[in-house]
Amino acid sequence: MTGSLPVTISDIEAAARRISGRILRTPFVNSASLSKLCGVPVGLKLEHHQTTGAFKLRGATNAVLMLTPEERARGVVAASTGNHGRALAHAAKAEGSVATICMSRLVPQNKIDEIRNLGAHVRIVGKSQDEAQQDVDRLVREDGLVMVPPFDHPAVTAGQGTLGLEILEDMPEVATVLVPVSGGGLAAGVAAAIKARKPQTRIIGITMERGAAMKASLDAGAPVMVEECPSLADSLGGGIGLDNQVTFAICRDLLDDIILLNEDEIAAGMRHAYAEEREIIEGAGAVGIAALLAGKVKKIDGSVAIILSGRNVDMAVHRRVINGQNDPWTEAAPWPG
Ligand SMILES: *Cc1c(COP(=O)(O)O)cnc(C)c1O
């Protein structure tokens, strides 16, 4: 399917110019261990080193910079499982605005604290992202705040797409890109950038079995709701929005495949990142490595790029995973020490 998609390569190139100097251009490094495992060069885009610890600063910064001064003065608002909230809080403050972030009770405490520390107003509402979103809608309606959603927005998706441009600069021969997927802003942006420049590149989305909203929606041919469950990859939680305008169509048209992982596989990815690459990454950031380790990426016939999307994991959870416990959410007692 071709036709015009809601985000184009020129939107992404414009985003790259706009956010340049305001976000980090993160390193891209070779993984000796994964290259050996796969028999092809495997590179890691270390986007978890991004300011605020995840790629979401790219989209949030692009979106805030595209607001009028009058909109910026009213303030921005979003529902977020954490990383978008941190990103929007940071971006708003950097550009002289204020962010209000609405979250469900499933969001880990460390993420809530960090968003407060970035100067945002935090509101904890309901037990799902959908309930948090209803609060956002009310603040837009009644208080005139400007919504900057976590993924389903052209400026946000274009901002995430700047990662795709950087991967092509650092690994021009890339044949396969492994990208985490939740709402699909990252995957859609990266796919839109890379497919425009190098259409034969495979873009494979990776997500968790527990509540794979984009996968279920692509299978159904339209956005569907899925039940939210706790996962090590908590940043991949939440739906894609039944009224999805941007990311569903792009993922449908441009993603070559979506791979699903269980909790043990995600934990193995986090352990590999720590032990072999010496990187602390959150579950969502580990899914690309995890998919390779699980042998779920088929037909590898050229260089592979993996996006490590974030590092904002509760360190007690990370410690338990490193120590071999794959599902710390079901454990009532904290890890000793
Ligand atoms: C948000 C997020 C994702 C998923 O991004 P989408 O644009 O929602 O698909 C992946 N990894 C991390 C660390 C995230 O914060």
Element (H, E) at 114: helix 109-117
Q: Which of 262, 183, 263 is nearest to 216 (CA)?
A: 183
Residue 77 lies in a domain: yes
Q: What is the pLDDT of residue 329?
A: 55
Q: Is the CB of 50 under 6 A from ligand 1?
A: no
Same domain membership, residue 292 and residue 171: yes
End-of-domain residue from the set 147, 163, 188: 147
HSE-up (13 A, CA, CB side) for residue 269: 33
End-of-domain residue from the set 126, 147, 168: 147
Please indicate whether residue 309 is annotated as part of the active site.
yes
Residue 244 lies in a domain: yes
The DSSP letter of residue 32 is: H
Report whether pLDDT(80) > 90.
no
Q: Is the CB of 151 under 6 A from ligand 1?
A: yes
DSSP letters for 223-291: ---------S-GGG-S---TT--SHHHHHHHH--EEEEE-HHHHHHHHHHHHHTS-----GGGGHHHHH
Report whether pLDDT(86) > 80.
yes
Q: Number of folded domains in the chain? A: 2
Q: Tokens 């580990």 correspond to what residue? A: 286
Looking at the CA of residue 189, tell me the nearest atom of ligand 1. 7
Q: What is the pLDDT of residue 334?
A: 35
Q: Is the CB of 161 under 6 A from ligand 1?
A: no
Protein residue with its CA nearest to atom 1 in ligand 1: 235
Same domain membership, residue 252 and residue 168: yes
Return the minimum-mean-pLDDT range out of 17-31, 134-148, 199-213, 230-244.
230-244
- Ligand 1 site-directed mutation target among 83, 289, 307, most atoms within 8 Å of CB: 83
The one catalytic residue in 80, 182, 235, 309 is 309
Report whether pLDDT(333) > 50.
no
Looking at the CA of residue 312, tell me the nearest atom of ligand 1. 13
Q: Which of 237, 167, 172, 248 is nearest to 209 (CA)?
A: 237
Mean pLDDT of 39-57: 98
According to DSSP, the residues that pair with 64 across neighbouring strands are none
Distance 156 CA to ligand 1 centre (A): 12
Residue 334 lies in a domain: no
The DSSP letter of residue 204 is: E
Helix%, strand%, coil% for the chain, nearest 5: 45, 15, 40
Q: What is the pLDDT of residue 4?
A: 87
Same domain membership, residue 119 and residue 181: no
Same domain membership, residue 218 and residue 317: yes
Report whether pLDDT(81) > 70.
no
Residue 332 lies in a domain: no
Report whether pLDDT(316) > 50.
yes
Decide the pairing of beta strands 121-124 and 257-261. unpaired
DSSP letters for 69-110: HHHHHH-EEEE-SSHHHHHHHHHHHHTT--EEEEE-TTS-HH
> Mean pLDDT across the chain, nearest whole number?
93
Can you say whether the dihedral through the CA atoms of 66, 26, 56, 161 is positive or negative? positive
Its domain, for residue 22, covers: 2-55+154-322
Alpha-carbon distance of 276 to 274, in angstroms, equals: 6
Protein residue with its CA nearest to atom 14 in ligand 1: 235
Residue 331 lies in a domain: no
Same domain membership, residue 26 and residue 79: no
Q: Which of 128, 127, 147, 129 is nearest to 137 (CA)?
A: 147
Same domain membership, residue 97 and residue 167: no
Report whether pLDDT(332) > 50.
no
Residue 181 lies in a domain: yes
Q: What is the pLDDT of residue 335?
A: 34
CATH number, domain with residue 198: 3.40.50.1100
Same domain membership, residue 165 and residue 291: yes
Residues 106-128: tens digit of each pLDDT: 777 877 888 999 999 999 998 87
Residue 328 lies in a domain: no
Distance 210 CA to ligand 1 centre (A): 15
Same domain membership, residue 254 and residue 138: no
Report whether pLDDT(3) > 70.
no
Report whether pLDDT(337) > 60.
no
Percent of the chain, pLDDT > 90?
83
End-of-domain residue from the set 119, 147, 175: 147
Can you say whether the dihedral through the CA atoms of 109, 115, 118, 121 is positive or negative? negative
- Identify whether the C-beta of residue 302 lies closer than 8 Å to the C-beta of residue 173: yes
Q: What is the pLDDT of residue 230?
A: 85
Residue 143 lies in a domain: yes
Q: What is the pLDDT of residue 44?
A: 98
Q: Tokens 């890109």 correspond to what residue? A: 177
The one catalytic residue in 45, 56, 111, 215 is 56
Q: What is the pLDDT of residue 271?
A: 98
Same domain membership, residue 222 and residue 89: no
Same domain membership, residue 297 and residue 278: yes
Q: Which of 286, 42, 39, 324 is nearest to 173 (CA)?
A: 42
Report whether pLDDT(301) > 90.
yes
CB atoms within 10 A of CB 68: 9
Higher-pLDDT residue of 12, 330: 12
Same domain membership, residue 296 and residue 277: yes
Mean pLDDT of 26-39: 98
Q: Is the CB of 309 under 6 A from ligand 1?
A: yes
Q: Is the CB of 287 under 6 A from ligand 1?
A: no
Looking at the CA of residue 180, tell me the nearest atom of ligand 1. 10
Q: What is the pLDDT of residue 331?
A: 45
Please indicate whether residue 36 is annotated as part of the active site.
no
Mean pLDDT of 68-72: 96
Looking at the chain, the number of H-run helices and the number of E-run strands are 14, 10
Q: Is the CB of 181 under 6 A from ligand 1?
A: yes
Residues 167-210: tens digit of each pLDDT: 999 999 999 999 999 999 999 999 999 999 999 999 999 999 98
Distance 65 CA to ligand 1 centre (A): 21
Report whether pLDDT(281) > 60.
yes
Same domain membership, residue 259 and residue 305: yes
Q: What is the pLDDT of residue 26?
A: 98
Percent of the chain, pLDDT > 70?
95
